[in-house]
Amino acid sequence: MTEQQTIDIARLPVMGEAAQQSYPTATLYVVATPIGNVTDITLRALHLLALADVVACEDTRKTGALLQRFGLSKQTIAAHQHNEREVADKIVERLQGGQRVALVSDAGTPGVSDPGARIVDAVRAAGLNVVPLPGPSAAITALSASGLVNDRFHFVGFLPAKPKQRESALALLARETSTLVIYEAPHRIVECVEGLVATFEPARQVVFARELSKMFEEIHRCALNEALAWVKADQHRERGEFVVLVEGAAAELDAEAAEAERILQILLAECSVKQAANLTAQITGRKKNALYDRALEIKGSEG
């Protein structure tokens, strides 16, 4: 075992580097903040927040409390879902006056299932500078610990709350081959899992990333047909914050089906329906009857 090391953060030479960087005035800084553990804030975020003339935030009390944890006291302005457009104009005015404005949300990265996009849009439209400060995001944090091996993911965010709309949204995702990343409010986690079970194959892997970076963090991976039992096994599970990841649809099946279709179409131009179906079955190993039905469909659509 290697010797355990400790770090005196305040004495790290790198601390000074955050201060040496350039933080132009008349700029909107989009600042990611912790999703649970307050010490996940970045050095650059801290430095910028200290430098900012004003902090635009979803909830002025929450952000005020966060700033206080770092010994900062700043003017804050409310920038939430219901006033984003109007506050965007005020932020543009401040930027035109040469201020540095920090934009944060309650947790994580602004503009990702959070307010922020409209403000950034207005600032860009006014020809002003926008600088993002990267940091925590629940989606990326969950993906990093999921062990789901797939280079691509599809960010779904929150599913619609109404059952019919949720059902339609999930149906549209059924053949998506990327890992699905879903955000869910604690009081809807059971309905969410019921929807997943009704839509996707039972063997698909699902990962629950609950209370990330907090005291009761839990990351659980199981087959979809075991998911509901897991959520219901402990009543605390219906209280925490969740990212739910769902393994994408099997890509090889889609690729194989596309290849069989291509072969069938080539052979149909030269042979009878029966011969084309038989030969495609021999070449691809797929079911003769299904190929025969498909060949009839193709012939039928040709008139």
Q: Which residues bind ligand SAM (CB under 6 A)?
A: 35-36, 105, 107-109, 112-114, 137-139, 183-185, 209-214, 241-243
- Torsions phi, psi for 223 (to 5 deg): -75, 150
| Shorter beta-carbon distance to ligand SAM: residue 27 or 105 | 105
Are residues 134 and 42 in contact, defined by beta-carbon separation less than 8 angstroms? yes
| Shorter beta-carbon distance to ligand SAM: residue 184 or 247 | 184
| Shorter beta-carbon distance to ligand SAM: residue 36 or 195 | 36
**Smallest separation, CB 219 to ligand SAM (Å):** 10
Are residues 133 and 47 in contact, defined by beta-carbon separation less than 8 angstroms? no
**Smallest separation, CB 153 to ligand SAM (Å):** 13
Are residues 86 and 115 in contact, defined by beta-carbon separation less than 8 angstroms? no
**Smallest separation, CB 108 to ligand SAM (Å):** 3
Token output for 159: 């599913």
| Shorter beta-carbon distance to ligand SAM: residue 115 or 286 | 115
Q: Which H or E element spans position 69?
A: helix 60-69
Are residues 276 and 268 in contact, defined by beta-carbon separation less than 8 angstroms? yes
Token output for 279: 């030969």
**Smallest separation, CB 106 to ligand SAM (Å):** 7
Would you list the DSSP string of 205-230? EEEEEESTTSTT-EEEEEEGGGHHHH
Would you list the DSSP string of 48-100? HHHH-SEEEES-HHHHHHHHHHTT----EEE--TTTHHHHHHHHHHHHHTT-E
The helices-and-strands tally (H runs, E runs) of the chain is 12, 10
**Smallest separation, CB 41 to ligand SAM (Å):** 14
| Shorter beta-carbon distance to ligand SAM: residue 139 or 196 | 139
When CB distances to ligand SAM are compared, the closest residue is: 108
**Smallest separation, CB 107 to ligand SAM (Å):** 5
| Shorter beta-carbon distance to ligand SAM: residue 69 or 175 | 69
Integer-rounded Cα Rg, in Å, for the chain is 26
| Shorter beta-carbon distance to ligand SAM: residue 113 or 178 | 113
**Smallest separation, CB 142 to ligand SAM (Å):** 7
Cα 292 to the chain's mean position, in Å? 42
